[in-house]
Amino acid sequence: MSRVQRNIPIGKWVVIEKVHMTTAGGQYKTTHHPYKMNISDETVVRGSDLSDDRIFLNLSDYSQIGNDPKELSFLIDVMGKIHDLGDVLTVRAQGEDRKRVQFRLMDTRGNSLVCCLWGTYAEQIEAFRDEHQDRSIVALIRFAKINFFRGEVQITNAFGASLLYLNPTLPEVLELSERLSDDQLQLALPDNGKKDGKRIKYDWNDAEVKPISEVLSANQVEICKIICSVEAIDTDWTWFYFGCNRHQKRANKLPKIDYENLRRGDKPMFHCELCNANITNVLPKFKLHLVVKDNTDTCNVMLLGSVAKSIIGHKAEDLWDGSYAEIEDPEILPAPIQDLVGKSFCFGLSITSDNVTNGSGNYIVLEVCSGDKVLSIETVSEAISDIGTTSSTMSSAPCMLLDTNSSEDPKTPFSKRKDEKDDLPDITSSSKKMCTKLIKEEKHKSD
């Protein structure tokens, strides 16, 4: 390298001749190519007539970072808006004093990623913040390293190999800045010091009640309420996923396990991304997809965890028959879930950038609403659309179950096209179509 390094500066196009090709291995690989070039004494580096100003970004999806243990040996490109920027501190690490700065990156979907940069990278952020007071910062980190710190994915610099760009004038950065406005950032901010970027507290009494037709045509990120009836259960997705009992996050089952022949009491092995370990302590967690309607239109909604439990009345583990096997018939569902068809609710929805920009027709239910801004249905004959135009005192039910039955009785679970995606971290191919066999109706259990 001492002989050729002056001929291969960053950003210069060159022709490299007479290199040895070997299998790429080890940690901190910069590409997924199976081979790497080794420069030897015979290598010749000369100028090139080819020139291209692109930097060939390969940005990683926040929700996928750290999911695959094999990916931990690769360096990645990440970009987002800096949030929760801490002070630059001088700490004792590895026997020497080093500068460190911690912050979170946020993407256009409101997902957040913990970052910790050291040394000259921390100094670079410190200098930029001092020069651009009260200005939002978009950071692009190239060749970043994936770590796990206290069970959470963390991005840090890979020694001195990473590249840090702050508010660079790149098309990808300009697009991010436009899509991630201050209003969107505020909507995505964590509440009460929660650092997961998802646990948010909203004032649902002030959220507008909208007909579904307006939700489908929304052109901005916001929260709202809909009053709707459940038309069908969407069985293109299973009603639960397996989650780690420690973190309540998804766990992926390990392949090549004979689930049918497991001995009584044995549990299959799963991999938890946050624990970064193989575990058996998993339980089913709700991930319920519904098709809902009012008299203006129909849309798909998804309910997770305690939100789903509030309308079903049971824990997911109470409805689960204990089987880890793949689904045999996706339309066989527990009776309490089937009983949702025809019932009406007031749902608090999140309209995300994926709905507004990418046209996704799936909406996340954040709350089963109650409060004086929602009108409960007094008679079975009252049209659902009439409710969204007025407000009065709501019934005192623990969750907003409206006493209206649909004029139809579609008890058959609904199947939809699979060309839409969900962007929550609990939705993966490992959780799709992993339903259970026929489940007998369980006795009610106290929580």
Whether residue 277 is predicted with pLDDT greater than 80 in this model: the reply is: no
Q: What long-range pairs does 200-208 form, CB within 8 A, spacing at least 24?
A: 200/366, 202/348, 202/366, 202/367, 204/348, 204/367, 204/369, 204/371, 204/373, 205/371, 205/372, 205/373, 206/373, 207/348, 207/369, 207/373
Share of the chain above pLDDT 70, in %: 70
pLDDT tens-digit readout, 348-406: 998 887 787 667 788 999 999 854 434 433 322 233 333 333 332 233 334 455 544 43
Residue 428: exposure state from Cβ atoms within 10 A (0-12, 13-18, ≥19): middle
- At 298, the pLDDT band (50, 70, 90 cuts) reads very high
**Residue 88: C-alpha distances to residues 57, 92, 129, 157, 196 (Å):** 28, 13, 11, 15, 22
Mean pLDDT, the chain, integer: 75
Measure CA of the first residue to CA of the last residue in the chain; give whole Å: 66
pTM, two decimal places: 0.45
pLDDT tens-digit readout, 189-227: 333 333 343 445 677 888 889 999 999 988 887 889 999
- At 291, the pLDDT band (50, 70, 90 cuts) reads very high
Q: Taking residues 9-32, what's their average pLDDT?
A: 89
pLDDT at 405: 41
Q: Taking residues 19-23, what's their average pLDDT?
A: 92
pLDDT at 226: 94
pLDDT tens-digit readout, 75-109: 999 999 898 898 899 988 878 889 999 999 988 77
How far is 9 from 36, CA to CA, in rounded Å? 18
pLDDT at 213: 93
65 and 78 Cβ atoms separated by less than 8 Å: yes
Domains parsed from the chain with CATH numbers: 5-47 (no CATH), 62-179 (2.40.50.140), 204-402 (2.40.50.140)
pLDDT at 274: 66
pLDDT tens-digit readout, 53-70: 878 888 898 988 988 878
User: Which range among 291-295, 323-327, 383-387 has the greatest average pLDDT?
Assistant: 291-295
